[in-house]
């Protein structure tokens, strides 16, 4: 059985950032990821720069992100509201960013076991036994960063903390070559969902939408939706007319929930979406995943050095709530506002007459710039 100080389940943004941070702090880290790198993920790829100071601390600021400073929002009819973002964001693909962080984590000394799934976890008197498709491991500390819909998360939670209902939504994403304003993220509503358009590195444009599955059935699948439903919004019609797909098929994701979750189970701190998925309309799940990794790494280091590992998970839970509870609550309020028929014309008129409302919403969903405490810093 292989022995490690820290084991991390899942190599998305949360797991990879924690692997990088903890390796830099001198811990022996193993991370299991069921896929290989690089790979595409369904995501709007719009990253809040609240985590820029932290990534800089880690020496992991992605060199090729696109700076985004404006938001353009439209109702299904095409009526538009615009705002300057209080904090700029980055357009960066998951294909690039996850791979970049994986390379950084490896260079810092983390052992990345890719194409390996964690199948079962058995808490021990001291630490955890981890059963994977690659064999048996023992870790003193275990972090769960396995995303928003892992069967393992359900197995690790007690029945009363398993998030209940799933959303009726499906996420669909594809990269295109298209001419768009590079400094603007566009969110266009259509009956039954909304689509985000933003530039990412390499001259690519990410097109990602969330759609009620009933609409998908009604329009006979993705091709029908893209030919007949999305173009009902004139901005989407214009985009789809000129955009050239760079991926043969779109990626899709379903069976996720925005319902409340808990950030710790069986003594295992959960990071990123496993602790709670914020509505993608808030555009902040990626930054929250990276931030949670920073919080967990900092607290683990403090508790390890003080020989108080028993209180690490509880301290993480309290800190997680301080940083994320309000935002997740806001995201859950936003969700029904978008409703099954997309942002209503009424909602758009309200935003247009009171632009401060949009800025208030953006502030509720986003956090202040974050960096982590480090010894000697």
Ligand X SMILES: Cc1cc2nc3c(=O)[nH]c(=O)nc-3n(C[C@H](O)[C@H](O)[C@H](O)COP(=O)(O)OP(=O)(O)OC[C@H]3O[C@@H](n4cnc5c(N)ncnc54)[C@H](O)[C@@H]3O)c2cc1C
Chain residues that interact with ligand X, rule: CB under 6 A? 9-15, 32-35, 41-47, 117-118, 145-147, 150, 152, 171, 208, 210, 253, 272-273, 280, 283-287, 289
Residue 80 vs 253, nearer CB to ligand X: 253
Residue 5 vs 134, nearer CB to ligand X: 134
Q: 3-state SS of 21-78?
A: HHHHCCCCEEEEECCCCCCCCCCCCEEEHHHHHHHHHCCCCCCCCEEEEEEEEECCCC
| Closest to 143 (Cα-Cα) out of 231, 261, 267 | 267
Residue 134 vs 352, nearer CB to ligand X: 134
- How far is Cα 133 from Cα 114, in angstroms, rounded to an integer? 11
In angstroms, what CA-CA distances link 24 with 61, 123, 170? 15, 26, 38
3-state DSSP assignment of residue 216:
helix
Residue 309 vs 358, nearer CB to ligand X: 358
Provide, rounded to whole angstroms, the least separation between the CB of residue 10 and ligand X.
3
Residue 21 vs 33, nearer CB to ligand X: 33
Residue 245 vs 352, nearer CB to ligand X: 245
| Closest to 22 (Cα-Cα) out of 38, 4, 39 | 4
In angstroms, what CA-CA distances link 287 with 57, 203, 267, 280? 15, 23, 24, 12
Provide, rounded to whole angstroms, the least separation between the CB of residue 186 and ligand X.
12
The tokens for 70 are 């404006």
Provide, rounded to whole angstroms, the least separation between the CB of residue 93 and ligand X.
11
Pair 30, 115: CB distance under 8 Å: no
Beta bridge partners of 208: 173, 196
Residue 88 vs 352, nearer CB to ligand X: 88
Provide, rounded to whole angstroms, the least separation between the CB of residue 66 and ligand X.
13
Using CA atoms of 75, 80, 81, 87 in order, give the dihedral in degrees to the nearest 10. 90
Checking phi first, is residue 274 left (phi over 0); if not, alpha (psi -120 to 50) or beta? Answer: alpha
| Closest to 298 (Cα-Cα) out of 24, 4, 1 | 24
Provide, rounded to whole angstroms, the least separation between the CB of residue 349 and ligand X.
25
Q: What is the DSSP letter of 129?
A: E
Pair 334, 281: CB distance under 8 Å: yes
Provide, rounded to whole angstroms, the least separation between the CB of residue 159 and ligand X.
19
Residue 70 vs 352, nearer CB to ligand X: 70
Provide, rounded to whole angstroms, the least separation between the CB of residue 153 and ligand X.
8
Provide, rounded to whole angstroms, the least separation between the CB of residue 276 and ligand X.
9
Would strands 244-245 and 193-200 be described as parallel, antiparallel, or unpaired?
unpaired
Residue 36 vs 202, nearer CB to ligand X: 36
Provide, rounded to whole angstroms, the least separation between the CB of residue 191 and ligand X.
18
């Amino acid at each position: 059985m292989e022995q490690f100080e820290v084991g991390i389940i899942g190599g998305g943004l949360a797991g990879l950032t924690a692997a990088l941070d903890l390796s830099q702090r001198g811990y022996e880290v193993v991370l299991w990821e069921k896929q290989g790198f690089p790979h595409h993920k369904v995501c709007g790829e719009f990253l809040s720069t609240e985590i820029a100071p932290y990534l800089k601390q880690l020496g992991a600021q992605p060199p090729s992100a696109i700076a985004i400073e404006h938001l353009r929002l439209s109702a299904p009819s095409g009526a538009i509201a615009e705002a300057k973002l209080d904090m700029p964001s980055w357009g960066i693909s998951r294909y690039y960013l996850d791979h970049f962080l994986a390379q950084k984590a490896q260079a810092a000394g983390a052992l990345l076991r890719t194409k390996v799934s964690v199948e079962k976890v058995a808490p021990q008197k001291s630490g955890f036994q981890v059963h994977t498709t690659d064999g048996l491991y023992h870790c003193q500390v275990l972090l769960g960063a396995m995303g928003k819909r892992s069967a393992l998360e359900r197995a690790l939670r007690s029945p009363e903390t398993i998030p209940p209902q799933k959303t009726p939504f499906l996420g669909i994403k594809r990269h295109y070559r298209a001419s768009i304003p590079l400094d603007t993220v566009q969110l266009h509503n259509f009956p039954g969902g909304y689509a985000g358009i933003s530039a990412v590195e390499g001259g690519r444009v990410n097109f990602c939408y969330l759609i009620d599955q009933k609409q998908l059935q009604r329009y006979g699948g993705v091709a029908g939706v893209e030919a007949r439903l999305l173009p009902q919004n004139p901005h989407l019609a214009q985009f789809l007319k000129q955009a050239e797909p760079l991926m043969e098929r779109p990626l899709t994701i379903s069976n996720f929930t925005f319902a409340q979750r808990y950030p710790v189970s069986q003594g295992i701190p959960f990071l990123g979406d496993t602790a709670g998925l914020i509505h993608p309309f808030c555009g902040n799940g990626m930054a929250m995943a990276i931030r949670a990794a920073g919080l967990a790494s900092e607290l683990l280091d403090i508790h390890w050095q003080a020989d108080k590992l028993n209180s690490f998970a509880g301290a993480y839970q309290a800190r997680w709530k301080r940083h994320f509870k309000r935002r997740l609550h806001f995201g859950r309020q936003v969700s029904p506002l978008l409703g099954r028929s997309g942002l209503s014309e009424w909602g758009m008129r309200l935003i247009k007459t009171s632009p401060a409302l949009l800025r208030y919403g953006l502030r509720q969903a986003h956090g202040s710039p974050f960096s982590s405490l480090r010894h000697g810093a």
